């Protein structure tokens, strides 16, 4: 049986540290970190994620300003709100929950955010900075995944890392971070030939495809460290109830992997903790306070 990587416990520890830092920023610098969270439309999964983010802010003493806009909001109106938040000195971080409705171009929205307030790290200049090793705001899910890997394995240098998935939110920034740690990185995707054989080479396997139970137990190298980024809602065949599962067939993988993140309780809590981390860093940067 593999070791379970407890992302919830790691996230709680990170948030405890941030909570103390926020208290001292308020006391010593009269600085109150603040994030604006924008949700457009009624997607229930997005509403759940936004709710979890806002609750974590409250726990840590980060001010959050929620902007819930109707699904019919025009792109121009959304861009106008972002511009207002960009110029508001009290707002240090701006998060627009994705996906946005189809009539809005998500790249235009992401690139309208001031890169220094882009706590998601999705702005084209933050993506470019990451690609050339001049990290500014780093996307939360890959950052949290890297923290778990370093906690588990220490130095990652020379390890074979396979990232399955090439999204701008997870796959590409994850690959960039692992490359910065001197891993030998392969980015696999839907067109990869003999994906099982590619995965079997991985000392570190990051699954970010968004397909429940996609990665099979016999695709995993014995002893590998597996990071399961998937959050998929499926109906349990026995109970008929909805439950969350990852992109990895956990029941099979847990007998092969050396260590594995569970779903829920693995990467998910780290994504939110890293959003808090980025918000505190953004606030300090904007106030001219050194890390
Ligand atoms: N949708 C899915 N994941 C994310 C995320 O990390 N940030 C935002 N803004 N939207 C998302």
Interval 166-194: pLDDT, tens: 999 999 999 999 999 999 999 999 999 99
Backbone angles phi, psi at 188, to 5 degrees: -100, 155
Write the CB contacts of 82 (distance below 8 Å, at least 6 apart in sequence): 38, 94, 96, 109, 112, 113
Residue for token pair 């409250």? 58
Burial grade of 135 (CB within 10 A; 0-12, 13-18, 19 or more): middle
Sign of the Cα pseudo-torsion (104, 106, 107, 110, in order):
positive
Contact 243/200 with Cβ under 8 angstroms? no
Q: Is 120 labeled as catalytic in the residue annotation?
A: yes
Among 40, 47, 97, 174, residue to substitute to test ligand 1 (most atoms within 8 Å of Cβ):
97
Q: Is 172 labeled as catalytic in the residue annotation?
A: no
Pairing relation of β-strands 232-235 and 242-245?
A: antiparallel
| pLDDT of the residue at 108 | 98
Reduced to 3 states (helix: H, G, I; strand: E, B; else coil), residue 217 is helix
What's the maximum distance between 2 C-alpha atoms anywhere in the chain?
A: 57
| pLDDT of the residue at 181 | 99
Q: How many Å apart are CA 107 and CA 125, to the nearest integer?
A: 12
Looking at residue 61, the DSSP 8-state letter turns out to be: T
Q: How many Å apart are CA 175 and CA 167, to the nearest integer?
A: 10
Query: Which residue among 116, 118, 120, 249 is the active-site one?
Result: 120
Task: Please identify every stretch of the chain with a pLDDT value under 50, giving residue numbers as ranges.
Answer: none
Q: Is the CB of 140 under 6 A from ligand 1?
A: yes
CA of 133 to the centre of ligand 1 (A): 23
Report the DSSP beta bridge partners of residue 228.
Answer: 207
Backbone angles phi, psi at 197, to 5 degrees: -65, -40
Closest CA to 92 of 216, 275, 290, 219: 275
Q: Could you write out the DSSP letters of every residue in 114-128?
A: -GGG-TT--SHHHHH
Q: Is the CB of 52 under 6 A from ligand 1?
A: no
Report the DSSP beta bridge partners of residue 160.
Answer: 184
| pLDDT of the residue at 273 | 98
Contact 248/230 with Cβ under 8 angstroms? yes
Write the CB contacts of 241 (distance below 8 Å, at least 6 apart in sequence): 235
Contact 78/104 with Cβ under 8 angstroms? yes
Contact 117/92 with Cβ under 8 angstroms? yes
Residue of minimum CA distance from atom 2 in ligand 1: 98
- Give start and end residues of each alpha helix (H) in the chain: 7-29, 44-60, 75-86, 106-112, 124-131, 140-153, 171-180, 195-200, 250-253, 267-287
Q: How many Å apart are CA 45 and CA 104, to the nearest integer?
A: 19
Closest CA to 246 of 222, 220, 273: 220
Residue for token pair 């416990």? 9
Contact 269/229 with Cβ under 8 angstroms? no
CA of 97 to the centre of ligand 1 (A): 5
Q: Is the CB of 112 under 6 A from ligand 1?
A: no
Ligand 1 atom with least separation from CA of 139: 6
Backbone angles phi, psi at 112, to 5 degrees: -85, -15
């Amino acid at each position: 049986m593999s070791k379970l990587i407890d992302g919830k416990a790691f996230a709680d520890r990170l948030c405890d540290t941030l909570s103390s830092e926020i208290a001292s920023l308020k006391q010593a610098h009269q600085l109150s970190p603040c994030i604006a969270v924008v949700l457009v439309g009624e997607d229930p999964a997005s509403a759940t994620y936004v709710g979890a983010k806002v609750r974590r802010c409250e726990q840590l003493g980060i001010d959050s300003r929620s902007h819930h806009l109707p699904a019919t909001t025009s792109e121009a109106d959304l861009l106008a709100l972002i511009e207002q938040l960009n110029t508001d000195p009290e707002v240090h971080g701006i998060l627009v929950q994705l996906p946005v409705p189809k009539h809005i171009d998500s790249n235009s929205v992401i690139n309208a955010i001031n890169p220094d307030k882009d706590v998601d790290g999705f702005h084209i200049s933050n993506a470019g900075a990451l690609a050339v090793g001049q990290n500014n705001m780093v996307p939360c899910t890959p950052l949290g995944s890297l923290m778990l890997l370093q906690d588990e394995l220490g130095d990652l240098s020379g390890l074979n890392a396979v990232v399955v998935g090439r999204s701008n939110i997870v796959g590409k920034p994850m690959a960039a971070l692992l490359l910065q740690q001197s891993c030998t990185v392969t980015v696999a995707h839907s067109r990869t030939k003999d994906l099982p054989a590619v995965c079997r080479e991985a000392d570190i396997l990051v699954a970010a495809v968004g397909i429940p139970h996609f990665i099979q137990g016999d695709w995993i190298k014995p002893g590998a460290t597996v990071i399961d980024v998937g959050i998929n809602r499926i109906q349990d065949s026995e109970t008929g109830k909805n439950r969350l599962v990852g992109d990895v067939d956990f029941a099979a993988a847990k007998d092969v992997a050396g260590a594995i993140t569970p779903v829920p309780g693995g990467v998910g809590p780290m994504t939110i903790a890293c959003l808090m981390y980025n918000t505190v860093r953004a606030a300090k940067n904007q106030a001219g306070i050194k890390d």
